[in-house]
Chains A and B, each alone.
Chain A
Amino acid sequence: MKTFILFFVHGITYSGLLFLIASGLTMVFSMMRIMNFAHASFYMLAAYISYSILLRTGQFWLCMLLSPIALFVIGSLVEKFLIRRVHSFGLVYDLLLTFGLGYALDEMVKWIWGTMPLHLNLVFATSSITVFDTTYPVYRLFILAVSILVIGMLVLILFKTNLGIIIRAAVDDNEMANALGINIPILFNGVFAFGAALAALAGVVAAPLFTVSTDLASLVLIDGFVVVILGGLGSLGGAVLASFIIGQLQSFGVLLMPQISMIFIYVLMAVVLVFKPSGLLGDRK
């Protein structure tokens, strides 16, 4: 029973991380119809940036503030100077562009920080808490708290503010929203940059948990995409549900059948897509 709870919590914290990554992806997709292949590279870049900030200042909260801001700026520039120019040519060229960008970013990171895996020295990341005589690392709970906070924030923004109404309108029919006087290009720019910032936040909180290495991006890219597809492209609720499922599946898969645990998520995804092509909570064709 104790092991069960432990792995359940483990799965949930991983779900939190996955959600942080997938939420940016799914938001950008639902708005702009762009599958952003550079998303995981943004995530990795943020992890490296936060490593550098932590090395200079030693303040983790500064990493959590500055890395997302840096990636917000980078994302905004990428949208303005690269993606906007090829967006009208169709889905394939968007994909190709972000793919090339991811390629270049991955190598740039290797260039700047080298190929050796880096360790973040964070006291707070190694301490643990004891509840009902079960010891659990505090940091994993912190990740969970951050992701719940982000879910709450997204829900508040989307459903309680004026900006949320505008975003939902643009998702529904961006041409009509444009005709009604909403500045769609700026909105797109903002959403793309915000997606990059969410990836950055995921990168910052993931950095102390894993070692910061160059295959950070490829490790999480597939899981992130699986979450987005499984939940339904563009569905935020779907992303929450799917990241919960994938997190549990990974956690208990490792516990019960370590040999084939990696295959589970693909099989699950294939099965869901065969029976419900739009994903678990996606309604759009």
Chain B
Amino acid sequence: MRKKILFVVGGVVLFLLAPLVFGLSEIMMLNEIMIFALYAMSYNLLLGYGGLLSFGHSVFLGFGAYITGVLLVHYPEFPFLALILVSTFGTLIVGFTLGMFLLRQTGASFALLTMAIGGMFGTIALKWSDVTGGDDGICIFRPDINLYIFQIDTTSVTAFYYISVFLIGIATICCWYFTRTCMGQTVLLIRENETRMQFLGYNAAISRLILFTVAASFAGLAGSLYMLFIGTVAYDVISIPMSATALLITFIGGIGSFFGAWLGAAFYIYVQDLLSGITTRWPFFMGVIFILMVMFQREGLAGLLSRCIEGLRWLRGRRGRTKDESKQREGHLKVA
């Protein structure tokens, strides 16, 4: 436990010190990694904890982004923090409403239904061009933070980076806390054995709905920050590829591993950047990496990391996990 806290504090300090070491482009990349890590973390709540495979998670990213964008287009002086709060809670309401319909299904039907909902909202975003800007999307400028006591000029990359570190840090802590609460544990157990939990008197439907709503609101926050970071949003933010990005990052990091989303996002964004510098056909290599990981490394990078640590321990002669115990951990992920 102490080691874990040390690890997290170390990570936070690294993120805080990064602007002193790196140039502007690296900071922008780190910022993107953080936003996608938050997006994937919210997705991991659904898939890793709830066992709900969704192909429409980008709906919530899109809602967060569009609420922020549309508000800024009409009220350019909208306060920065209020903007983020409104987007997050707006998406929370959307998530709750959609969840009531979507969660009537589970398993493959749920996956397909979410895909259809994603397609529906993507089409609406494309066609309702009076509000969303349609094909061209909307462009905004980041408003300044004005808290009367102090003001922050958010146009600078570093300033926005620190704001992101602060907000995403808080969101990560909330997310982590959620998984530790009784609620979070209940969802986990419902994934493992729904009949038994119902027999014990837990309401699976309501638990799933709460999980879905929480996941949606975090994705909305990620969307709002994404909008403010990039400064423009178009209809393709709500699309299957965007939803799949969440799945890919989550899987690469390790489904069900809380900090896996961070590993996955770092890997995904970095490798994408690296490959797109070398070849225009980078999605091919991403696809191949992905197939290989499904075949040989189903626990993702987090699983690989913990296996490496075990190996090191074993080398140092301490008692590692026995073979049976490691086998138990191997991914037999159940989908409700």
Contact = CB atoms under 8 A, between A and B. Distances in A.
Given A104-B283, A233-B109, A277-B109, 4 more contacts: A35-B108, A82-B291, A96-B251, A107-B281
A262 B125 CA distance: 12
Contacts of A263: 120, 123-124, 127
B110 to A, nearest CB: 10
29 contacts: A29-B108, A35-B108, A35-B112, A86-B294, A86-B295, A89-B298, A89-B332, A90-B332, A90-B334, A91-B335, A92-B53, A93-B333, A99-B244, A100-B294, A104-B283, A104-B284, A106-B287, A111-B284, A222-B116, A225-B115, A225-B116, A229-B109, A229-B113, A233-B109, A260-B127, A262-B127, A266-B123, A270-B101, A273-B116
A269 B114 CA distance: 11
Interface string B139-160: 0000000000000000000000
B291 A274 contact: no
Contacts of A82: 291, 295
A83 B295 CA distance: 9
Interface of A: 29, 33, 35, 82, 85-86, 89-93, 95-97, 99-108, 110-111, 218, 221-222, 225-226, 228-229, 233, 259-260, 262-263, 266-267, 269-270, 273-274, 277-278
Contacts of A218: 240
Contact residues of B: prevailing secondary structure:
helix
B131 to A, nearest CB: 14
Contacts of B117: 266, 270
Nearest to A99: B244
B247 A96 contact: yes
Contacts of A228: 112
B333 A95 contact: no
A90 B335 contact: yes
B47 interface: yes
A100 B290 contact: yes
A104 B294 contact: no
Contacts of A111: 281, 284
Contacts of B298: 86, 89, 93
Nearest to B105: A277
A281 B247 CA distance: 31
Contacts of A35: 108, 111-112
B320 interface: no
Interface string B90-120: 0000000000010011011101110111011
Contacts of B291: 82, 97, 100-101, 104
A89 B105 contact: no
Given A86-B294, A92-B47, A222-B115, A266 B120 contact: yes
A263 to B, nearest CB: 5
B9 interface: no
A266 B67 CA distance: 23
Contacts, number: 125
B72 interface: no
B312 to A, nearest CB: 27
Nearest to A226: B116
**Residue from A218, A221, A225 with most neighbouring chain B CB atoms (10 Å):** A225
Closest 5 CB pairs of A and B: A104-B287, A107-B284, A103-B287, A266-B120, A100-B290
Given A86-B295, A93-B298, A263-B120, A101 B287 contact: yes
Interface string B282-319: 01101110110011001000000000000000000000
Nearest to B241: A218
Given A92-B53, A273-B105, A277-B105, A259 B281 contact: no
B35 interface: no
Contact of B287 (A33, A86, A90, A107): A107
A91 B336 CA distance: 10
A89 B281 contact: no
A267 B120 contact: yes
A155 B17 CA distance: 67
Given A104-B284, A107-B281, A92 B124 contact: no
B255 interface: yes
A106 B283 contact: yes
A86 B111 CA distance: 19
Contacts of A267: 120
B294 A96 contact: yes
B192 to A, nearest CB: 13
A100 B108 contact: no
A195 B38 CA distance: 38
A108 B281 CA distance: 8
A103 B283 contact: yes
A262 to B, nearest CB: 5
Contacts of A99: 244, 247, 290
